[in-house]
Amino acid sequence: MANTEGEPRRLAKPKLTKRRCLPFTRKIALPEPSPIPMSFILALAERRSAERFASIDLSDLATWLYYCSTVQSVHSDDRNRQQRFVASFGALHPAHILLGNPDGKWFTYVSGEHALGELAVDANVAFQLRNLAAQLFAAPEATLVSLISDTELAESYYENASGLILRDAGVLLGHGALVAAAIGIGFRILGSTGGPLLEKMVCDLPFRAMATGLAWIGGRKYVT
């Protein structure tokens, strides 16, 4: 994992690099997002770390992904800088959202197309990562949200960018928790970044990666 010491400093002249996507083997279109059914104030009041999870409905997952990370627009002079619903330093959004299903399949959110891309992963490492998450909080029916961030993109604009990258992922997870509350699904942030397992799980990563967070997401399960 990269060194997080040193005060971040924006470069006077960014070393422009092209944003790179995670390599996926096939693309799956997602349903259109549903409208958010409650106010921001009510979402704040409703937000809780879920204790029980059911499997998540695809339409709910699509809505959560859309309001967390879809690309709304890009800067005309620098296409690395994007507008999304969530805030990010320098409008860079270096974190990629990975989703690990209970059946062992892994996907990434293709934020520019509102789609899922199926990933080729090291199955043994993926199994270890899910076990790590289960040790923190058991949720066998939930989907594992994993954030992996592009350090090369961030370091093209900032010196000592590691701290910014970690804080950026924290903002995304906090935003995700509020979106989950607003659409009525379960979400729980876990006390691990997922590194170093997450950093070596995806096959043929096109950039130097930093694992930056784990969370469970799923349908809400109620005790009867």
pLDDT tens for each residue of 134-192: 999 999 999 999 999 999 999 999 999 999 999 999 999 999 999 999 999 999 999 99
Q: Is residue 43 part of a domain?
A: yes
The beta-strand segments (E) located in the chain are 9-10, 24-29, 53-54, 73-74, 82-83, 95-100, 106-110, 115-119, 143-150, 158-159, 186-189, 209-220
Q: What is the mean pLDDT of residues 78-97?
A: 94
Q: Is residue 10 part of a domain?
A: no
Residue type, 101: N
Mean pLDDT over the full length of the chain: 93
**Beta-sheet pairing, 24-29 with 115-119:** antiparallel
Instruction: Say if residue 51's pLDDT is above 80.
Output: yes
Q: Are 114 and 62 in contact (CB under 8 A)?
A: yes
At 53-77, the pLDDT tens digits run: 999 999 999 999 999 999 999 898 8
Confidence of residue 224 (pLDDT cuts 50, 70, 90): very low
Residue 161: per-residue pLDDT: 94
Q: Is residue 5 part of a domain?
A: no
Q: Is residue 1 part of a domain?
A: no
Q: Is residue 14 part of a domain?
A: no
Report how far apart the first and last C-alpha atoms of the chain are (Å, whole number): 44
CATH number at residue 36: 3.40.109.10
Q: What is the mean pLDDT of residues 97-112?
A: 97
Q: Supply 205's token pair.
A: 């990563």
**pTM here?**
0.93
Q: Is residue 12 part of a domain?
A: no
> 61 vs 78, 156, 176, 199, CA distance in Å?
30, 32, 11, 24
Euclidean distance between CA atoms 80 and 77, whole angstroms: 9
Q: How many domains does the chain have?
A: 1
Q: Is residue 78 part of a domain?
A: yes
Q: Is residue 11 part of a domain?
A: no
Domain that holds residue 35: 20-220
